[in-house]
């Protein structure tokens, strides 16, 4: 993480992160990674490339949460619209890829899955045709160059919105099976958002593994008859997720609080020095 040293002698927050630099560096890295993925995968991405594209697109969408949307400029909205469409076709393809692997591993009838995956692959190929990839990269480049020219990320507002998303989950006494999917999405969004500020979110790995595996089995169960052993595995993953949910929520809220304090302290010192705060506390 890029850092900016403080001369405070009270022992608190002696080293402060330079949030703008961390953010812009990660944004640039994401842009480069996405361009390389699009170039290497072409219009027929492999299973691994589908996974990598989905993760990178999610990270880019999380990064745009920090950008102030100007009603007069449509590039940000257009970028988000295009990324959402790509995520939809990639998600369908990814679910069927995993379902096919699981069906083979558990010796299940995969004939229906095979037909569905063939259709999903064709949809991905159309969505990532050369002219569509070029158009997406153009919109992405325009949006990010605009951000670089006017670097004014809404750090505090975004952190507060994320806190507001997480807090209601603390009041849920136990994760119900029907809530697992929504909770999984919240965890992913939280992870990618905090990573943009330099947080290390390794403590979420085990929870996300459990949530992801339970989702994979749920998808498989909708497409084929699954055996009792696989159902027991799903129940076990959900049980483990329930145990990990509370500590993970507290970890995320702690990270948000840490960043909020650092931002407030950084802006306070700049204000006392009479400098314009490049990290506004909204």
* Residue 198 phi, psi (nearest 5): 95, 5
pLDDT tens track for 63-86:
999 987 665 557 888 999 999 999
Alpha carbon distance 154, 161 (integer Å)? 11
Where are the strands (E) in the chain, listed by range? 3-5, 15-17
Please say whether the beta carbons of 259 and 199 come within 8 A: yes
Range 37-40, long-range pairs (CB < 8 A, 24+ positions):
38/128, 38/133, 38/136, 38/137
Rg of the chain taking only CA atoms, in angstroms:
21
pTM score: 0.86
Rounded average pLDDT over 90-108: 94
- 233 neighbors 247 (Cβ within 8 angstroms): no
Identify the band that residue 269 occupies on the pLDDT scale cut at 50, 70 and 90.
low
Q: Give the tens place of pLDDT for each residue, 182-235.
A: 999 999 999 999 999 989 999 999 999 999 999 999 999 888 887 888 889 999
Q: Above 80 in pLDDT, residue 267?
A: no
């Amino acid at each position: 993480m890029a850092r900016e040293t403080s001369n405070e002698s009270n022992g608190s927050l002696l080293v402060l992160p330079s949030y703008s630099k961390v953010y812009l560096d990660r944004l640039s890295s994401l842009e480069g990674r996405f361009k390389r993925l699009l170039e290497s995968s072409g219009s027929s991405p492999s299973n691994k490339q589908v996974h990598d594209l989905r993760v990178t697109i999610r990270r880019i969408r999380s990064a745009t949460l920090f950008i102030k949307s100007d009603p007069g400029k449509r590039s940000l909205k257009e970028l988000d619209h295009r990324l959402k469409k790509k995520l939809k076709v990639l998600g369908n393809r990814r679910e069927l890829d995993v379902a096919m692997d699981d069906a083979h591993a558990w010796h299940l009838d995969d004939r229906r899955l095979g037909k569905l995956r063939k259709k999903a692959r064709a949809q991905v190929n159309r969505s990532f045709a050369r002219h569509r990839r070029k158009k997406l990269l153009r919109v992405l480049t325009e949006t990010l160059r605009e951000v670089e020219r006017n670097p004014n990320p809404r750090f505090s507002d975004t952190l507060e919105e994320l806190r507001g998303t997480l807090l209601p989950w603390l009041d849920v006494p136990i994760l119900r099976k029907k809530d697992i999917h929504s909770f999984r999405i919240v965890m992913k969004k939280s992870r990618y958002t905090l990573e943009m500020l330099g947080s290390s979110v390794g403590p979420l790995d085990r929870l996300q593994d459990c949530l992801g595996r339970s989702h994979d089995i749920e998808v498989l169960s909708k497409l084929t008859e699954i055996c009792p052993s696989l159902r027991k595995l799903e129940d076990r993953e959900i049980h483990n997720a329930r145990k990990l949910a509370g500590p993970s929520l507290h970890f995320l809220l702690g990270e948000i609080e840490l960043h909020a304090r650092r931002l407030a302290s950084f802006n306070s010192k700049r204000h006392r020095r009479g400098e314009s705060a490049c990290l506004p506390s909204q």
